[in-house]
Amino acid sequence: MRQMAGRTRVCYPPDLRFLEPPIRNWLLGETGSAVTRLMDPPDDGASGSVRPAERAHVQTHQMLVSLKGLNFHVAATDVYSDPDGAIRLLWAREGRNVELVFPSIQDEAPYLYHSGDDNYGIEERPSPECALIWINWALDNRSPKRVQAA
């Protein structure tokens, strides 16, 4: 351990540096793991949760990998499945919410729902770039170039 500017920092030998979790892996590490855990709901049957379809699971991970490729690393505020088995990723801050939804139903496309104090809307089949714009709006109040009301 090394004392630096009044704080203690653990120093790992060069070959064990991987033990120090970098912030750039939070999106895939935390959110990706939470998505994968949705695929194994409790066996008690009393929880009311529906196991998402593999299709929703794959689409969700594809979006997470694409977001990481755009240098986005913030883990979702919440990850859950709805009664229809859709996987939902939520980012929320100060009354602004963005929810990426990956339906389990074969004919339904992913969509993004955004809401704030004075607007709301849906983006159908959002690209990773579109999702990033809206997530940045929710987290940092950066106004998107276009606001589409539902």
Which tens digit of pLDDT belongs to each residue from 107-143? Answer: 999 999 999 988 899 999 999 999 999 999 999 887 7
Residue 2 placed within a domain? no
The pLDDT assigned to 55 comes to 94
Does any domain span residue 126? yes
Asked if 8 contacts 1 with a C-beta cutoff of 8 angstroms, the reply is yes
Give me the pLDDT at residue 1, please: 42
Q: Is residue 148 part of a domain?
A: no
What's the number of domains the chain is made of?
1
Residue 150 lies in a domain: no
Tell me which residue range forms the domain holding 59. 9-140
Q: Which pLDDT score, from 0 to 100, does residue 118 have?
A: 84
User: Is 147 part of a structural domain of the chain?
Assistant: no
Q: Is residue 29 part of a domain?
A: yes
Q: Is residue 4 part of a domain?
A: no
pLDDT at residue 25 in the model = 60
Report pLDDT for 45.
Answer: 56
